[in-house]
Chains A and B, each alone.
Chain A
Amino acid sequence: MTRGRAFAQSLDGNQKAVAVALTVLFGFGLGFGVAHLMAGSIAYWGVVSVPFFITLRVALPATVIAGVTGVASGYVLAKGRFPGRDLLESLGSLPIILPPTVIGFYLLEVLSPGTRVGGVLTRVVGHALVYNVDGCIIAATVAAFPFCMRSARTAFEGVDVALEQAARAIGLPNWRVALQVSLPLARRGIAAGLTIGCARALGEYGATLMVGGDINGKTRTMSLAILDSFTTPERNTMLLILVLMAIVAMTGVGLLGRSRS
């Protein structure tokens, strides 16, 4: 067992939360510090920081939504007994296989206010779901979802069925078996899926470009901004920050997955 893993397992719930928070703060602080040193000007700082915060506004909700829906779908696919489960998983995995711009194109087709579904959604939400942060979140969620779902399914299938039966035999209803037995026992595999999903949401480009529109100061995430600033020095800073964000996110989620409870 590595020292890092031993350390993670020795922490209780509160300590883990603090450790994750500190890791995130440290990572972001380091990223900004490096950016600041490299930038050397306030204007430069503005160019870099705006896409950074847009990326956070997109990637965090996308990871949460993809995590919740992916884990729930993974559970149904792993534990449900109905025909067509593998077909459903294949459908849910399409965003991995199809080019992101194709996904973005069809999302645009569905979400645009002029379409039937998009029109209904626009009326329900009260505003359009394209060319704003909401559209970017939807695109990043779609991109992250398959990783969360597939990892969760594999993790839930790996849980000892006898333990779940034992929990039912002592009277736990099925929803408590799912939340208090299956979920904690599958947490490592789920954390692995969330890690990749989060990284995918951070780096999402093609679908976000189609649905979000790459509007400076509104929907231009770090990934989009890196390409937009390809001929300028900012690209290196933004790439560095994006890499640091991905490392911090993956470290944090990984730490939670290795915890004891």
Chain B
Amino acid sequence: MTSALDVAVARHIGDFDLDVAFTVDKGISVLFGPSGAGKTLTLSLIAGLLRPDVGTIAINGAIVTDCARRLYVSTQRRRVGMVFQDGLLLPHRSVLDNVALAVRQVGGRRARRDVARTWLERVGAEELAQRRPVSLSGGQRQRVALARGLAGEPALVLLDEPLSALDTKVRRELRTLIREVIISSGVPAVLVTHDAEEADELGDVVIDYDDGRVTGQHAVARPSYPEPPLENPAGTEPS
């Protein structure tokens, strides 16, 4: 069976050396470790925002980075969704536009906005659709960012410390939401955190990072998953 993600890369930046290899299957895989361990750098390499010095990355069996062959698929064509630490929503667009911009399905503006509305409903942010990101709380921003990360029907969603900037209460609420939405979407996810409780609560597999190396990997005991829904929320065919 093809893995959702195969990573075997090395990258040297300044005094820091990253050299990691791991495989991700369905569910949520957590890259866990202290700050500066190379977790976010790994996400950037997977997303194609940076290039490794050596190694390969494959998403759903398709090679997207192969340094030996100088193959680097662009970020846009990797079909990854990303949820950033501080949301990084576009400040000059409405919440609905932010999500609609990520929708890749063929169709007009109205169709894309319908898909975006459906995703906002799924994360409990439908009433925020017309607001600007600057008016949102941290928790609301991350809900919208999660909707945006999944709205493009990605092959893989990457979450870079999505809860680290939030207070404890909101963080607990969003942990539940993130897990529910990602698992029900059927999209494999890689989540970065330095919070052990968060890693165990969100992850199906926890990959331990330290000083640019993978130091261990363990599965978190979970009840088995229901199969992903056959239809996507908007009822549209993927392009």
- Please determine whether chains A and B interact with each other in the same assembly: yes
- A171 with B88: CB separation less than 8 A: no
Give 1 or 0 for each of A156-196: 1 = CB within 8 Å of chain B CB.
Answer: 00000011011111111110000011001100000000000
- B92 with A167: CB separation less than 8 A: no
Number of residue pairs across A and B with beta carbons under 8 Å? Answer: 49
- A170 with B49: CB separation less than 8 A: no
- Contact of A169 with B82 at beta-carbon distance under 8 Å, contacts A163-B88, A185-B92 already known: yes
Is A260 positioned at the interface, with any CB of B under 8 Å from its CB?
Answer: yes
Is A261 positioned at the interface, with any CB of B under 8 Å from its CB?
Answer: yes
- A170 with B92: CB separation less than 8 A: no
Chain B interface, number of residues (Cβ within 8 angstroms): 23
A-contacting 9-mer, from B9-17, B73-81, B192-200: B73-81
Tell me, rounded to whole Å, the shortest Cβ–Cβ distance linking B102 to chain A: 4
Residues of chain B with a CB closer than 8 A to A170's CB: 81-82, 101-102, 148-149, 151-152
- B88 with A166: CB separation less than 8 A: yes
Is B104 positioned at the interface, with any CB of A under 8 Å from its CB?
Answer: yes
Give the distance in Å from the alpha carbon of A163 to the alpha carbon of B74 in the complex.
Answer: 17
Give the distance in Å from the alpha carbon of A179 to the alpha carbon of B80 in the complex.
Answer: 22
Give 1 or 0 for each of B69-103: 1 = CB within 8 Å of chain A CB.
Answer: 00000111001111010001111110000000110
Give the distance in Å from the alpha carbon of A127 to the alpha carbon of B233 in the complex.
Answer: 61
- B92 with A172: CB separation less than 8 A: no
Main secondary structure of the interface of A (DSSP, over half): helix
Residues of chain A with a CB closer than 8 A to B49's CB: 165, 168-169
- Contact of A184 with B92 at beta-carbon distance under 8 Å, contacts A166-B82, A171-B104 already known: yes
- Contact of A167 with B101 at beta-carbon distance under 8 Å, contacts A181-B90, A185-B91, A185-B92 already known: yes
- B104 with A163: CB separation less than 8 A: no
Give the distance in Å from the alpha carbon of A162 to the alpha carbon of B84 in the complex.
Answer: 9
Closest to B87 in A: A166
Tell me, rounded to whole Å, the shortest Cβ–Cβ distance linking A261 to chain B: 6
Give 1 or 0 for each of B123-162: 1 = CB within 8 Å of chain A CB.
Answer: 0000000000000000000000000110110000000000
Residues of chain B with a CB closer than 8 A to A261's CB: 92-93
Is B47 positioned at the interface, with any CB of A under 8 Å from its CB?
Answer: yes
Closest to B81 in A: A170
Tell me, rounded to whole Å, the shortest Cβ–Cβ distance linking A28 to chain B: 31
Give the distance in Å from the alpha carbon of A187 to the alpha carbon of B209 in the complex.
Answer: 42
Residues of chain A with a CB closer than 8 A to B79's CB: 171
Residues of chain A with a CB closer than 8 A to B148's CB: 170
Residues of chain A with a CB closer than 8 A to B152's CB: 170-171
Residues of chain B with a CB closer than 8 A to A184's CB: 92
Give the distance in Å from the alpha carbon of A173 to the alpha carbon of B104 in the complex.
Answer: 11
Residues of chain B with a CB closer than 8 A to A169's CB: 47, 49, 75, 80-82
Of A165, A181, A184, A261, most buried by chain B (CB within 10 Å of CB) is: A165
Cross-chain pairs A/B with CB under 8 angstroms, 21 sampled? A162-B84, A163-B88, A166-B82, A168-B49, A168-B76, A169-B47, A169-B49, A169-B75, A169-B82, A170-B82, A170-B101, A170-B102, A170-B148, A171-B76, A171-B104, A171-B152, A172-B76, A173-B76, A181-B90, A184-B92, A261-B92
Known: A162-B88, A171-B152. 20 other contacts (CB 8 A): A162-B84, A165-B49, A166-B82, A168-B75, A168-B76, A169-B75, A169-B80, A169-B82, A170-B102, A170-B148, A170-B152, A171-B104, A172-B76, A172-B101, A173-B76, A174-B76, A181-B90, A185-B92, A261-B92, A261-B93
Which residues of B line the A interface, CB within 8 A?
47, 49, 74-76, 79-82, 84, 88-93, 101-102, 104, 148-149, 151-152
- The 9 A-B pairs with the shortest beta carbon distances in the complex, nearest first, are A170-B102, A166-B88, A169-B82, A168-B75, A184-B92, A171-B76, A171-B152, A171-B104, A165-B49
